């Protein structure tokens, strides 16, 4: 164990850890589906010069491939299914970016990521304004007190009036919009951005259909007025109106999650993207002490600690391994270090540690607070687990969503039952679905429980692709689950519209057709304990 080396040099190391933590920017890109998160992720990496061109056009719908959408199903469908982590250096900072899926069916993944970041970049589609998931995500960030940078994207397409958008943000989220850049040219005729901090106009010309950095011209305000005419005077009027209503940038308001900086972009054309990256470096919060389960805060310079916010397998087909994504909260992480797994009290050797760039991975030797580390084949680790060196700590549990969709899974080919079982266990371990069993149904027919039905498609696809275990589903009528006790199985065995199964973590779940079935049981069998599970899913109407 490398305890000696970490403690003996603690004085100089503490300053270094604080310095490294202050260089970290760890954030999630979030939005309603399709607003351009993966495209912006790609554009940010392009501006940091870590990739040469933004994904080549792949033909289908002229959609571009992105580094973060690497799963076959993501490429086929053009949506993100699973969050992806990208680490890269920019200016004097280290960026840890998490591109999340927008679809509500995958929101459990998105919410886990939000538990691990210090800030969020919220995209709004200029033509659509605030959509259902946008509002839910704003709420989740508010509950976590997470500062949000808002980006109005797709300004190259016809869209809404910018002032109306500012009003909508203010009225519906309660956050004060504080523009840092303003679009020059109406939506659909995006000429450039007025950088309100740098007091200059940056005019963009697209290059290589948006695959390369846009050409940039920097003009002072007089030259902008002269050359852009009406477009400039419109922007001037708009900015005046917005700033008159008290929306000047105030970093404290942003860090307190009460105001949101606004920037305009076209992620697809690389317009306004450098300004987003610079904003993240200049104003986004660095890694700072994170609250633990007891409400205390472990200083960043304390010995290493972190927690698992995601488990993902199948990233490397050749090795069939799975990776636990760890957010480093304190101290320095050194590869090979022996840490304690808070949930079991067992020690744990971190032999295979990597940094992540979409599906690409590279061995790392050390990581600092704010960094995301991939621990390979750390099969004991589950989402929400904490790890530490020396002084024990447990970070808050990551809320589990209440499943609302249930199906029986069966192997299509009985001779491949072993692969079927292994696949289901693995996908359950990754947290893609919950797995329920009962003696009555038998092990051949586990019940899969999900927040949204698209999770079943992911399971089916992965079972075929990764485990060569084709499977089929049988629908179940249930739409509601409650935690219960083992004796409820007997009581409810003859009740219509209800059933008790056991989840892999040992908990018993009572499933109900609908709220009426639940109410009937509550009334007729008052001895049965029924407790709501974690958080209601954001897909739920009850949410």
Ligand X SMILES: Nc1nc2c(ncn2[C@@H]2O[C@H](COP(=O)(O)OP(=O)(O)OP(=O)(O)O)[C@@H](O)[C@H]2O)c(=O)[nH]1
Cβ closest to ligand X, residue 102 vs residue 177:
102
Question: Which of 44, 342 has the CB closer to ligand X?
Answer: 44
Check residue 419 for interaction with ligand X (CB under 6 A).
Answer: no
DSSP single-letter state for residue 271: B
Considering the complex, state which of residue 451 and residue 492 has its C-beta at the smaller distance from ligand X.
451
Residues that bind Mg ion (CB under 5 A): 37-38, 80
36 binds, among ligand X, Mg ion, none (CB under 5 to 8 A by kind): ligand X
Dist. CA 407–CA 423, nearest whole Å = 16
- Cβ distance to ligand X smaller for residue 209 or 529: 209
Query: What is the rounded distance in angstroms from the CA atom of residue 455 to the CA atom of residue 238?
Result: 44
Binding residue for ligand X, selected from 17, 35, 489, 498, defined by CB under 6 A: 35
State the binding partner of 157 from Mg ion, ligand X, none, CB within 5 to 8 A by kind: ligand X
Name which of 38 and 260 has its Cβ closer to Mg ion: 38
Helix (H, G, I), strand (E, B) or coil at 452: coil
Cβ closest to ligand X, residue 80 vs residue 438: 80
Residue 39, interface with ligand X (CB under 6 A)?
yes
Encode burial over 453-474: b for 16+ CB neighbours within 10 A, e otherwise. ebbbbbbbebbeebbebebeee
Is residue 99 part of an annotated ligand binding site? Answer: yes
- Least distance (Å) between residue 210 CB and Mg ion: 16
Is residue 272 within 8 Å of 266, Cβ to Cβ? yes
- Alpha-carbon distances, residue 474 vs 380, 410, 436 (angstroms): 31, 8, 14
Consult the annotation and say whether 102 binds a ligand. Answer: yes
The yes or no reply on residue 520 touching ligand X (CB under 6 A) is: no
Report yes or no: 114 and 30 within 8 Å, Cβ to Cβ.
yes
- Decide: is 37 part of the binding site for ligand X (CB under 6 A): yes
Residue 407 Cβ vs ligand X, minimum distance, rounded to whole Å = 23
Show contacts of 194-201: CB within 8 Å, 24+ apart: 194/224, 194/235, 194/239, 195/275, 196/239, 196/249, 197/249, 200/224, 201/228, 201/232
Rule CB under 6 A: say whether 79 interacts with ligand X. Answer: yes
Say whether residue 177 binds ligand X (CB under 6 A): no
What is the nearest approach in angstroms of Mg ion to the Cβ of residue 86? 12
* C-beta neighbour count of 13 within 10 angstroms: 17
Closest CB 80 distance from Mg ion, rounded Å: 3
150 binds ligand X (CB under 6 A): no
The smaller minimum CB distance to Mg ion, of residues 149 and 498, is found at 149
CB 305 within 8 A of CB 296: no
Tokens 């840490």 map to which residue?
Answer: 339
Render 49-77 in DSSP notation, one character per residue: TSSSSS--B-SGGGPBP-SS--SHHHHHH
Helix (H) or strand (E) holding 402: strand 401-402
Q: What is the DSSP letter of 406?
A: E
Does residue 539 belong to the site contacting ligand X (CB under 6 A)?
no
Q: Rounded to whole angstroms, how far apart are CA atoms 498 and 518? A: 8
The yes or no reply on residue 426 touching ligand X (CB under 6 A) is no
Check residue 94 for interaction with ligand X (CB under 6 A): no
525 near ligand X (CB under 6 A): no
Asked if 63 interacts with ligand X (CB under 6 A), we say yes
Among residues 101, 129, 358, 403, which is the contact residue for ligand X, using CB under 6 A? 101
Considering only 266, 279, 305, 539, the residue that binds ligand X (CB under 6 A) is 266
Which residue in 71, 86, 268, 432 binds ligand X (CB under 6 A)? Answer: 268
Q: Which is nearer to ligand X, 125 or 228 (CB)?
A: 125
Which residue's CB atom is positioned nearest to Mg ion?
80
- At residue 7, the 3 state secondary structure works out as helix
Cβ distance to ligand X smaller for residue 21 or 273: 273
Task: Return the percent helix, strand and coil in the chain, to nearest 5.
Answer: 30, 30, 40
Residue 319 sits at the vertex; the CA angle it makes with 316 and 325, to the nearest 5 degrees, is 55
101 is in an annotated binding site: yes
Q: Which pair of tokens denotes residue 128?
A: 């659509």
**Does residue 31 touch ligand X according to CB under 6 A?**
yes
Q: Does residue 157 bind ligand X (CB under 6 A)?
A: yes
Shortest Cβ contact with ligand X: which residue? 102
Looking at 18, 28, 55, 80, which residue binds ligand X (CB under 6 A)?
80
Distance CA(148)–CA(30), nearest Å, equals 10
Could you list the residues known to form a binding site, using ranges: 99-103
Residues of this chain that bind ligand X (CB under 6 A): 31, 33-39, 63-64, 79-80, 101-103, 153-154, 156-157, 266-268
Q: Binding site membership for GTP: which residues?
A: 99-103
């Amino acid at each position: 164990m490398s305890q000696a080396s970490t403690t003996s040099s603690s004085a100089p190391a503490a300053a270094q850890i604080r310095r490294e933590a202050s260089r970290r920017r760890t954030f999630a890109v979030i939005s309603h589906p399709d607003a351009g998160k993966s495209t912006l992720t790609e554009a940010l990496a392009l501006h940091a010069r870590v990739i040469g061109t933004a994904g080549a056009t792949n033909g289908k719908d002229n959609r571009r491939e992105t580094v973060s959408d690497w799963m076959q199903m993501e490429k086929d469908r053009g949506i993100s299914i699973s969050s992806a982590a990208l680490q890269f250096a920019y200016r004097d900072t280290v960026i840890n970016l998490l591109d999340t899926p927008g679809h509500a069916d995958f929101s459990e993944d998105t919410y886990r990521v939000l538990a691990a970041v210090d800030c969020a970049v919220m995209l709004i589609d200029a033509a659509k304004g605030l959509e259902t998931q946008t509002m839910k995500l704003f709420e989740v960030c508010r509950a976590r007190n997470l500062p949000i940078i808002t980006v109005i994207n797709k300004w190259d397409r016809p869209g809404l009036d910018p002032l109306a958008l500012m009003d909508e943000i203010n009225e519906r989220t309660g956050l004060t919009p504080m523009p840092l850049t303003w679009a020059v040219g109406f939506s659909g005729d995006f000429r450039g951005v007025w950088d309100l901090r740098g007091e200059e106009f940056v005019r963009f010309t697209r290059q290589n259909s948006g695959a390369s950095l846009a050409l940039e011209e920097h003009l002072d305000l007089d030259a902008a007025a002269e050359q852009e005419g009406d477009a400039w005077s419109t922007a001037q009027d708009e900015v005046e109106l917005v700033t008159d209503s008290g929306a000047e940038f105030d970093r404290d308001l942003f860090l307190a999650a009460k105001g949101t900086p606004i920037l305009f972009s076209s992620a697809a054309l690389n317009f306004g993207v450098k300004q987003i990256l610079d904003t993240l470096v200049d104003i986004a919060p660095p890694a700072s002490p994170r609250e633990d389960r007891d409400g205390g805060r472990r200083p960043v310079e304390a010995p290493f600690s972190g927690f698992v916010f995601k488990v993902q397998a199948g990233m490397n087909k050749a090795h069939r391994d799975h990776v636990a994504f760890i957010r480093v909260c304190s101290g320095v992480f050194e590869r090979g270090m022996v840490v304690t797994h808070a949930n079991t009290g067992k020690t744990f050797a971190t032999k295979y540690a990597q940094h992540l760039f979409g599906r690409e991975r590279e061995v790392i030797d050390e990581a600092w607070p704010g960094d995301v580390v991939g621990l390979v084949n750390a099969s004991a680790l589950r989402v929400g687990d904490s790890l530490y060196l020396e002084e024990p700590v447990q970070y808050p549990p990551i809320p589990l969503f209440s499943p609302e969709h249930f199906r029986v899974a069966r192997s299509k080919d009985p001779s491949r039952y072993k692969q079927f079982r292994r696949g289901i266990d693995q996908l359950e371990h990754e947290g893609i679905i919950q797995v329920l069993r009962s003696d009555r149904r038998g092990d051949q027919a586990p019940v899969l429980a999900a927040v949204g039905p698209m999770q079943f498609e992911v399971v089916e696809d992965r079972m075929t692709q990764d485990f060569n275990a084709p499977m089929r589903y049988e629908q179940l009528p249930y739409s509601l689950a409650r935690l219960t006790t083992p004796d409820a199985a007997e009581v409810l065995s003859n009740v219509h519209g209800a059933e008790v199964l056991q989840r892999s973590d040992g908990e018993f779940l009572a499933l109900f057709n609908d709220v009426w079935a639940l109410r009937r049981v509550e009334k007729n069998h008052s001895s049965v304990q029924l407790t709501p599970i974690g958080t209601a899913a954001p897909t739920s109407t009850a949410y």
